[in-house]
Amino acid sequence: MKRILIIILVLIASIVIGILAILTAIKLTTEKPVAPSAPEIKPRAEEIPPPACTVEFSLNPTPSGNPSITPSITPSATPTPTGGITPSQPPNVPPVCTGLSASPTSGDAPLVVTFVATGYDDNSGYLAGFEFNFGDGESKKVEQTFKSTDTYTVNHTYSNVGTYIASVRVKDNNGDWSSIPDACKQTIKIGTATISPTVPVGAPETPIPTTQVAAPQIPQAGNILPPLLLTLGGIILLVVGSLAL
């Protein structure tokens, strides 16, 4: 009886909704469309004629042959050659670096190396400077009056391990520097002293730590609680579903 009553109520509601839909459709088809009306505005271009566009211009050409306009040409000054000729001096020849010695060239850090540089000037002048580049980021420049052929000695300490290329160049009294040939270069090798650790006799040995790997725990068979709970939940769902129907 309850099912029949629900079906009857659903049919009544469907009929009422259908009737309302039919009445709404009939009302919409009987109404007339309303067209929007807008006042007609006459363009102002038709009311007032556009003014005429006129351009007035005049030309005042200058007649040809007017004596008042004459080109003026100013003559340029002509250089006056001098009677004497100044003789040109010969160009300066750069000085020459002849050698660089180093002692010692290898050893453990820190290592003090003595450098001796030599060079000469080819222009009947004299040497005016030595510039040392030690290859480790440090350099030393000495500027003073030397003889036409002279040497200069300098010491440098290498504190870091590595291989360095030291070089030197010389300067003459005219301010020109020489090139750096291979004879003015030295390779310096800096090492470090190796010290092997010694273990005293009778010292206890250091134990080597061992890492233990935990074995995974595997559940054993025979636990029936989870299957029992799943079965009980399924029975409860079946009973509730049958009562609802």
pLDDT tens digits for 159-212?
999 999 999 999 998 999 999 999 999 999 999 876 655 655 665 666 666 666
Domain ranges of the chain: 96-191
* 166: nearest Cα among 189, 185, 141, 151: 185
Q: How confident is the model at residue 133 (pLDDT cuts 50, 70, 90)?
A: very high
Report, as an integer, the average pLDDT of 127-141.
Answer: 96
| Percent of the chain whose pLDDT exceeds 90 | 33
Alpha carbon dihedral 226, 227, 232, 238, in 10-degree steps, equals: 130
pLDDT digits (tens, 9 = 90+) for 5-52: 777 876 687 787 777 667 766 766 665 555 556 556 655 555 555 555
Contacts of 114 (CB under 8 A, 6+ apart): 102, 103, 153, 154, 155
pLDDT of residue 80: 57
Q: What's the mean per-residue pLDDT of the chain? A: 74
Q: Which of 7-16, 91-100, 216-225 has the highest mean pLDDT?
A: 91-100
Q: Is 103's pLDDT higher than 80?
A: yes
What residue type is assigned to position 199 of the chain?
V
* 136: nearest Cα among 205, 86, 187: 187
**Superfamily (CATH) of domain 96-191:** Immunoglobulins (2.60.40.10)
Q: Is 57's pLDDT higher than 80?
A: no
pLDDT of residue 148: 66
